[in-house]
Amino acid sequence: MRPKDKIAYFYDGDVGSVYFGPNHPMKPHRLCMTHHLVLAYDLHKKMEIYRPHKAYPVELAQFHSADYVEFLHRITPDTQHLFSNELARYNLGEDCPVFENLFEFCQIYAGGTIDAARRLNNQLCDIAINWAGGLHHAKKCEASGFCYINDLVLGILELLKYHARVLYIDIDVHHGDGVEEAFYFTDRVMTVSFHKYGDMFFPGTGDVKDIGEREGKFYAINVPLKDGIDDTSFTRLFKTIISKVVEMYQPGAIVLQCGADSLAGDRLGCFNLSIDGHAECVRIVKKFNLPLLVTGGGGYTKENVARCWTVETGVLLDTELPNEIPENEYIKYFAPECLLNIPNGHIENLNSKSYISTIKMQVLENLRCIQHAPGVQMQEVPPDFFIPDFDEDEQNPDERMDQHTQDKQIQRDDEYYDGDNDNDQNMDM
């Protein structure tokens, strides 16, 4: 028997309190709902809970351009009217609005994914979870599709310090374009995205014919699907492709983006997946017993997002959850039934057997073209990113901190950490 997996879970209550705006589909409040459901099911008692560090601008600039990071740091809702050229250049606006505490929001969700990768690298856990992460559309120099900083790329870059090959898997309903683009020319990361494609569906990329270029040729895999795919077709296709990918590519670590907008009934999605079907993909990936970093992603029917990621936390902990949702702060959102399972979707499945079979054959054909596990010459592993702590004595007391900064330095006592699992103070950088 393998020893039980050790699981690290990253959460900061501040991510759930930002607000994209009244008509925006992205509701970070879903992260609070997920966390409280995880607590209600007592799952926190089986994991190590950490508050992530806020990623420093210089860490974000490991992938993003320094000028873009600097602009995100500087811009506020009150000053944005002065920067119309820059807003256009960095694609900030309707989809990616400037809101209060935007940069801190990015620092927290990216910090969670970076910390998750570092704990895996240092063999301090087998599985690391950051439901706030998974913002897969962000590009090097611009925001896109509700994503500002691409935490997945930053996490993968961290894993590449210790692993010759990293596998990225994406089950969001939208194509994982930002991650694919970042690693399109290298064989050190294989990206595999299952997504809706066609009908001008966002972001419009992810054709089965897009397979990577130069050294990365055959190391990008796209599984384009049509409306209405159901559990049976999706999980069968997923298992066939991912099993072959792991066999051929032999990754040292896996990053799994669990966007919940592929669930039935999502406000922006068009698939028919149940939570069980979605979670089955997590179960399949866990069985490879490789270091695993799991993130969230899209998901716009927030009570279903919370249900889904809670069930998937249970899957990663080998814990089956009772269908009846326990009492918690957000119970009213799950009314009237207050059950974990969601009804099946009723969108017509436009993915014919022959269509799925064709896609599967094309993908498996491309996989045959990669040499068995490409040889990567491992250089000496670079040290983890080191940032010195600020010495409070050296800070000029005349430079008064604004109230928000002071508030941030006060330990919140309303955040729930439990006994021995409270590792908030000894998080190693």
Q: What are phi and psi of 257, to 5 degrees?
A: -95, 120
- Residue 43, C-beta contacts closer than 8 angstroms, at least 6 positions apart: 310, 313, 314, 317, 319
Out of 137, 163, 175, 195, pick the active-site residue.
137
Binding-site sequence positions: 95, 145, 172, 174, 261, 300
Q: In what order do the strands lie in the sheet with 253-257?
A: 48-50, 7-10, 127-130, 292-295, 253-257, 166-170, 189-196, 220-225
Q: How far apart are CA 256 and CA 263, in angstroms?
A: 16
Whether omega before 251 lies within 30 degrees of 0, making that bond cis, reads: no
Q: How far apart are CA 334 and CA 303, in angstroms?
A: 6
**Amino acid at residue number 69:** V
Return the structure tokens found at 404. 């928000």
Binding-site sequence positions for a divalent metal cation: 172, 174, 261
Single out the residue of 278, 9, 60 nearest to residue 169, CA to CA: 278
Catalytic residue list contains 137: yes
The radius of gyration of the chain from alpha carbons, rounded to an integer in Å, stands at 21
Active site residues: 137
